[in-house]
Chains A and B, each alone.
Chain A
Amino acid sequence: MSAIPRIYLDNNATTPVLPEVFEAMRPYFGEHFGNASSIHHHGQETRAAVERARDSVALLLGCRAAEVVFTSGGTEGDNLAIAGLTGAGDHIVTSSIEHHAVLHASRHLEDMGCEVTYLPVDGHGLVDSDDVRRALRPNTRLISIMMANNETGVLQPVDEIGRIASEADVYFHTDAVQAAGKVPIDVKRIGCDALSISGHKMHAPQGVGALYVRKGTRLQPLFYGGRHERSRRAGTENVPGIVALGKAAELAMQGFDRQNDKKMSALRDRLQHGILAQVEEAGVNGGGAARVPNTTSIYFDHIEGEAMVISLDLKGLAVSTGAACSSGAIEPSHVLVAMGLRADRTRASIRFSLGKQNTIEEIDIALALVPETVARLRELSPAYRKQAVHS
């Protein structure tokens, strides 16, 4: 069972570390081991590496190096921004399709005396910027709306929301974890005060991320300790991770120059169109909106996504559905539910997300595996058989 070729199309969950990224970080496990806060040679070496990485991340986000705070990942960045920019009595505007890092942080702040508005989305999975404007109150302190959704890949109108936030003089944070490395990001154009990214969603390792914090923004830290990261994030730097994130940012920038994002979307479209051409009663969730180039969420009527994911995994194709709960069981996606998708379709939806390592050959193998698996599962579905007899 272990000998089958494995194809990985779950890159929104995590991505493999690219070989160049791994090579870049490798010396910082061994020869360059210093604590970046130390004053001696070893410390200076790693300090320089951290600051070079900060420059690369700043280039990726279109900000100054001093505005980049390294974190342990997307969840920390989201928590730091949301908790760090608000206090009891403040009102927060967010959406119902945010990552749990934002949703659960917001819920916690509700317990701590904040008020939170969770905006709905339309059938395409889009937040309406007019809803954002209408949700503002005199005590609104923060708007937190994601840049790209992890389930559907749908890009949210962050530029407009940034303008609304700036006019109303409230903070705007955007969770850009699923956008970074996939589409160009420019914090000036978005007009955000904070933006979080995660290393492992862009071919750096798990355990590192960054939060952009606009210069002059007063941010309450989550951790207390040393004066690392300009007192915004205490704790000895994860130097190998930070170096890797810097390299991944560099590679992402080169990728945009080479129009790799266009190639990625062509590959994604090949997969999506190929599936829809072969499988009836299937459709794209959020297909009518602008999306990041690597993601497509497809529902296959009359199947259980859970059985589909397991069946495909047993054949070597890794995809996902919904969100895994702590046991590893699958729960219906809150994103698809918020989009108003029928309950059976939320359970029948599969997310395919590509990474830089995926090849056209892999996509074509997936295009053979998916239709045959859907056909077999439908064959075993009493509801589908009944319908087939009647039609």
Chain B
Amino acid sequence: MTNPKTIAVAMSGGVDSSTVAAMLRADGHNVIGLTMQLWNQRRLAGHEGMPEQVTGRCCSLDDVYDARRVAEHIGIPYYVVNHEERFERDVVRPFVAEYLSGRTPIPCSLCNNHLKFDQLLVVAQQIGADCVATGHYARVEYDDTRARWLLRRPADRSKDQTYFLFGLTQEQLSRTLFPLGGMTKPEVRELARKQGLALAEKPDSQEICFVPGGDYKRFIDAYLAESGEALPDTAGELVTASGEVVGEHSGIHNFTVGQRKGLGVATGSPLYVIQINGADKQVIVGSDERLYSRTLRARRINLVSVDDLRESKRVAVKIRHRHEPAAAMLERAGEDEVLVTFDQPQRAITPGQAAVFYDDDVVVGGGWIF
């Protein structure tokens, strides 16, 4: 080891971040394990139809216990840092507000931008760490010719998490390590086994960490009830694209673009949610082909591999986590807005989700679909 660094590892108690800690430690770095306490799982337990049992994964005591055991096993100091206030302000509140406005949010990206690569970096610096390492599947590297930090898709494309990381600034990327970028998940598990980590076989987490069982509607009800806020009345009409009222709905936050179930309308052909019109509380429904669109607009743009979009650019654009990037033309459409024109129409472009632009495996940047 020629250049040992002091590295803070964001440890969730899962296989990936645990393996990162073990790898960096084995490489001779000074490793400090940090777990962010972001949400009190017991807070809404038993509230308004929420499960009594704490089932959510994020910040559960079991995960903290697992992370602590790993830290002890590999011989590194370990601390839990409390960022509940910031998480509620920057992730949970916007999550609720987005749904209530008829959009479908991605809390993970907000968490990365505001917590993991912001607050945690601050804590890391404060406690004397040069950088933060996480178990994300992505690659970060410095490109001399462009004089920029690049975010690239990982070796294991099936685990690619760059979609959630497009918001990282150059400063954040310069202090971030993704040691798993060149590995596949099976390789990571194998390494975890070799390092003697008891949790090598622990299943991957899937759901939104603070929403137990993935039932976001119940979560929103319980959260607002606990905060003493009334659930805004977002009930309204189900209408077709031509304006014909075909039914009523219980609230726009119960719908997401592309949704088919739960519309409560019986027609000959299957109906889907095409669009949610927050201002009029209307849910617009139609046939499957109406879900396809060739263009999208995104705002709150963060550029990664380039410092500006002076001219339009051929890219591949990913519009949700499980979407294969599709060829498109990217062009500036305003101060902080872009227009994406796909070669082929894309299904269910959903406001609130991110659009992330790729040039081969390099993240050009991304923004929020509106």
Chain A residues with CB under 8 Å of chain B are 1-2, 304, 306-307, 310-311, 313-314, 325-331, 376-377, 380
> Is the beta-carbon distance between A380 and B122 smaller than 8 angstroms?
yes
Could you say which residues of chain B place their CB within 8 Å of the CB of A314?
A: 32, 77, 127-128
Q: Which of B78-86, B201-209, B282-290, B291-299 contacts A (4 or more CB under 8 A)?
A: B78-86
| Interface size classification for chain B | 20 to 34
What is the 8 Å Cβ interface bit string for chain B, positions 297-320, against chain A (1 contact, 0 not)?
A: 000000000000000000000000
Contact residues of B between 77 and 107, Cβ < 8 Å to A: 77, 79-82, 84
> Is the beta-carbon distance between B77 and A327 smaller than 8 angstroms?
no
* B333 part of interface (Cβ distance < 8 Å): no
Chain B residues with CB under 8 Å of chain A are 30, 32, 35, 37, 59, 61, 64, 68, 75-77, 79-82, 84, 122-123, 125-128
Bound form: Cα–Cα A154–B366 in Å: 55
Could you say which residues of chain B place their CB within 8 Å of the CB of A328?
A: 64, 68, 79-80
Bound form: Cα–Cα A313–B126 in Å: 13
Distance to closest chain B CB from A348 (angstroms): 13
> Is the beta-carbon distance between B37 and A325 smaller than 8 angstroms?
yes
Which 9 pairs, one residue from A and one from B, show the smallest C-beta to C-beta distance?
A: A329-B37, A307-B126, A329-B82, A328-B80, A329-B80, A327-B64, A310-B127, A311-B127, A310-B79
Give the total number of A-B pairs whose CB atoms are below 8 A apart.
Answer: 54
Could you say which residues of chain A place their CB within 8 Å of the CB of B77?
A: 1, 313-314
Given A1-B77, A306-B82, is A327 in contact with B59 using a C-beta cutoff of 8 Å? yes
CB closest residue in chain A, given B36:
A329
Could you say which residues of chain A place their CB within 8 Å of the CB of B32?
A: 310, 314
Bound form: Cα–Cα A35–B128 in Å: 53
> Is the beta-carbon distance between A311 and B128 smaller than 8 angstroms?
yes
Q: Which of A2, A326, A329, A377 contacts B81 (CB under 8 A)?
A: A329
Bound form: Cα–Cα A363–B145 in Å: 53
> Is the beta-carbon distance between A306 and B81 smaller than 8 angstroms?
yes
Sample of 27 A–B contacts (CB below 8 Å): A1-B77, A2-B75, A304-B123, A304-B126, A310-B32, A310-B81, A310-B123, A313-B77, A313-B79, A314-B32, A314-B77, A314-B127, A314-B128, A326-B61, A327-B37, A327-B59, A327-B64, A328-B64, A328-B68, A329-B80, A329-B81, A329-B82, A329-B84, A330-B82, A376-B126, A376-B128, A380-B126
Q: Chain B interface mostly helix, strand, loop or mixed?
A: mixed
CB closest residue in chain B, given A322:
B82
CB closest residue in chain B, given A328:
B80
> Is the beta-carbon distance between B82 and A1 smaller than 8 angstroms?
no
Bound form: Cα–Cα A255–B75 in Å: 39
Bound form: Cα–Cα A327–B80 in Å: 7
CB closest residue in chain B, given A312:
B127
Distance to closest chain B CB from A302 (angstroms): 12
Could you say which residues of chain B place their CB within 8 Å of the CB of A377?
A: 126
Distance to closest chain B CB from A8 (angstroms): 15
Bound form: Cα–Cα A34–B223 in Å: 56
Could you say which residues of chain A place their CB within 8 Å of the CB of B68?
A: 328
Bound form: Cα–Cα A234–B61 in Å: 32
Could you say which residues of chain A place their CB within 8 Å of the CB of B64?
A: 327-328
> Is the beta-carbon distance between B123 and A307 smaller than 8 angstroms?
yes
Could you say which residues of chain A place their CB within 8 Å of the CB of B37?
A: 325, 327, 329
Bound form: Cα–Cα A246–B91 in Å: 53
Among B68, B75, B79, B122, the one with the most A-chain Cβ atoms within 10 Å of its Cβ is B79
Could you say which residues of chain B place their CB within 8 Å of the CB of A327?
A: 35, 37, 59, 61, 64, 80
Distance to closest chain B CB from A375 (angstroms): 12
CB closest residue in chain A, given B64:
A327
Could you say which residues of chain B place their CB within 8 Å of the CB of A304?
A: 123, 126
Among A306, A313, A328, the one with the most B-chain Cβ atoms within 10 Å of its Cβ is A328
Distance to closest chain A CB from B210 (angstroms): 14
